[in-house]
Chains A and B, each alone.
Chain A
Amino acid sequence: MSEIKEKEPLFSAKNLKLLTEPIDSKNPVTVLVLGICSALAVTVKLKPAIVMAISVIVVTAFSNLIISLIRKSIPNRIRIIVQLVVIASLVILVDQILKAYVYDVSKQLSVFVGLIITNCIIMGRLEAFALGNKPWPSFLDGIGNGLGYGLILVIVAFFRELLGSGTILGLRVIPLEWYVKNGGFYENNGMMILPPMALITVGIIIWIQRSRNRKLIEE
Chain B
Amino acid sequence: MSLLNKIKSMDRNSNLYTFLYASGMVIVVAMLLAIASTALKPAQNKNIETEKKIDILRSIGKTDGIDEAKNKHKFVAEAFQKYIPEQLVVNINGDTIKGLEAFNIDMKVELSKPLEQRNLPLYVAKLDDGSIKYIIPLRGRGLWGPIWGYLALNSDLKTIYGATFAHQGETPGLGAEIATPEFQKQFRGKTIFEGDSILTFTSVKVVKGGASPDDTHGVDAISGGTITSKGLEKMLSDCLEPYQNYFEKIHKSL
Contact = CB atoms under 8 A, between A and B. Distances in A.
| Complex contact flag A–B (Cβ < 8 Å) | yes
Contact of B33 (A73, A74, A75, A93): A93
Contacts of A76: 12-13
Nearest to B20: A75
Interface in A99-154: 99-101, 103, 110
A204 interface: no
Contacts of B197: none
A82 interface: yes
A180 interface: no
B44 interface: yes
Contacts of B32: 89
Interface string B126-169: 00000000000000000000000000000000000000000011
Nearest to B48: A103
A103 B47 contact: yes
A172 B237 CA distance: 40
B37 A85 contact: no
A216 B131 CA distance: 69
Contacts of B169: 110
Contact of B18 (A77, A92, A110, A194): A77
Contact of A100 (B17, B44, B173): B44
Contacts of A78: 18, 21-22
A99 B50 CA distance: 13
B18 A75 contact: yes
Contact of B29 (A85, A96, A97, A101): A85
A74 B21 contact: yes
Nearest to A100: B43
Interface of A is mostly: helix
A77 B21 CA distance: 11
Given A89-B29, A99-B47, A100-B43, A77 B13 contact: yes
A50 to B, nearest CB: 19
A101 B72 CA distance: 12
A77 B29 CA distance: 19
Listed residue (B8, B26, B47, B48) with the most chain A CB atoms within 10 angstroms of its CB: B47
Interface string B3-36: 0000010001100011001100110010011001
Given A82-B25, A89-B29, A73 B12 contact: yes
Contacts of B26: 85
The residue in B8, B32, B44 that gathers the most chain A C-beta atoms within 10 A of its C-beta is B44
B51 A103 contact: yes
B155 to A, nearest CB: 34
Residue from B25, B33, B37, B168 with most neighbouring chain A CB atoms (10 Å) = B25
Interface in A176-215: 193-194
Interface in B166-195: 168-169, 172-173
B40 interface: yes
Interface string B36-62: 110010011001100100000000000
A46 B27 CA distance: 38
A92 B8 CA distance: 29
Nearest to A170: B67
A82 B51 CA distance: 37
B199 to A, nearest CB: 41
A99 B29 contact: no
B157 to A, nearest CB: 33
A100 B13 CA distance: 41
Interface of A: 73-78, 81-82, 85, 89, 92-93, 96-97, 99-101, 103, 110, 193-194
Interface of B: 8, 12-13, 17-18, 21-22, 25-26, 29, 32-33, 36-37, 40, 43-44, 47-48, 51, 168-169, 172-173
Given A85-B26, A89-B33, A194-B173, 13 more contacts: A74-B12, A75-B13, A75-B18, A76-B13, A77-B13, A78-B18, A93-B33, A96-B37, A99-B47, A100-B43, A100-B47, A103-B51, A193-B172
Q: Can you list the 9 inter-chain pairs with the closest CB atoms, starting with the nearest?
A: A100-B43, A103-B47, A75-B18, A100-B40, A96-B40, A99-B44, A100-B44, A89-B29, A75-B21
